Copies of this chain bind each other. A is one copy, B any other.
Amino acid sequence: MVKTLEWTDAGVRFIDQTRLPTEEVYVTCGNYREVADAIRNMIVRGAPAIGVTAAMGVALGVRESRAKSYAELRAELNEICDTLAATRPTAVNLFWGIQRMRERFEQLSSASITEIKQALIAEAQQMYLADIAACETMGQNGAVLMPSSGGVLTHCNAGALATCGYGTALGVIRAAVEAGKKIHVFADETRPFLQGSRLTAWELNKDGIPTTVISDNMAGAMMQQGKIAAVVVGADRIAANGDVANKIGTYTVAVLAKEHAIPFYVAAPWSTIDLATPDGEHIPIEQRSAREVTHVAGKQVTPDGVGIENPAFDVTPSRYVTAIITERGVAKSPFAASLQNMARQNASELQPAVASR
């Protein structure tokens, strides 16, 4: 499986997602500022991957520190965390990853600086492994919801490249295929950044899962023609009421799915669920550079002087969502209650729908 990100002695190593699908190039970020840049510039993207990347960025920043005391190190930690937190506003996993590292740091007040550095690296690596395990459990929980055969539409990339491995939405598809289901994936190309054509098609093709790329505006026609049996997407943040912030265009797909009575599934790790945010209106939506829309592959496709909108995400109200697939189980309407119930489970009680793979 592709290594989306990994901790190495030299720093955090990423496959450069801006160069796919034609070039498979890896870059290593040797300090936390480079890690922040990698998030901001979308060398690494996808909410779960961003969360673990941020944790590794914290571990890397602390490892570089020449602080001599816990207090001195905490001041540096604050600076590191603030820098990483300022990269992208929507994916809640970023803040979750940073917060978890802060909490670990707070537990280490009596440890030596060397021990703290080692413990934070270990924590980030544990989060890395837990992310892959969560994807695999999500896959098992979601595979049963997939059709036994037919087209499944996905938007953006919620795959191995959006996580530490296996994927959320694509993890569900992978698990369904592994269970013998005959799924043909329809991948929205996902303008402006083309995560669907560049990333989803690339990783599914490597796995031998049949995939057709469509431009985003073809989704309606494909549904009208009966080619789509289900939709499954990832999420960047899910509010307490089940509203889903995900890649721009997700809401358009959700409306189309409703019109064609096609189930619309969201797959995301528990770290994407933000019970502190009541609903989608309270989720901050990142606006990215106009140039992502006006230029494609470096070539200008829009004349100078016109306005551009480039929200990176939109919000799909929970009434369009058939189910939310997490590693803790599958939430259904009414989502507020369903998510609250899951929140009350503690780790030892977690019961995946199917035993671990």
Beyond A191-B191, A296-B296, A297-B297, whether A213 also contacts B302 by CB under 8 A is yes
A:239-276 near B, CB below 8 Å: 248-249, 251-256, 258-259
| Residue A125, interface by CB 8 Å | no
Q: B-facing mask of A123-134, CB < 8 A → 1, else 0?
A: 000000000000
Inter-chain contacts of A299 with B (CB < 8 A): 296-299
Inter-chain contacts of A322 with B (CB < 8 A): none
- 26 chain-A/chain-B pairs, Cβ below 8 angstroms: A155-B217, A186-B309, A188-B217, A189-B191, A191-B191, A191-B217, A192-B215, A198-B302, A198-B303, A201-B302, A201-B306, A204-B306, A213-B293, A213-B307, A213-B309, A215-B216, A216-B217, A217-B217, A217-B249, A217-B253, A221-B314, A224-B314, A258-B259, A296-B296, A297-B298, A297-B301
| Residue A147, interface by CB 8 Å | no
Beyond A205-B305, A297-B299, whether A217 also contacts B248 by CB under 8 A is yes
Does A21 contact B188, Cβ atoms closer than 8 Å? no
Q: B-facing mask of A211-227, CB < 8 A → 1, else 0?
A: 11111111111101000
Looking at the assembled complex, report how far the CB atom of A226 sits from the nearest CB atom of chain B, in whole angstroms: 13
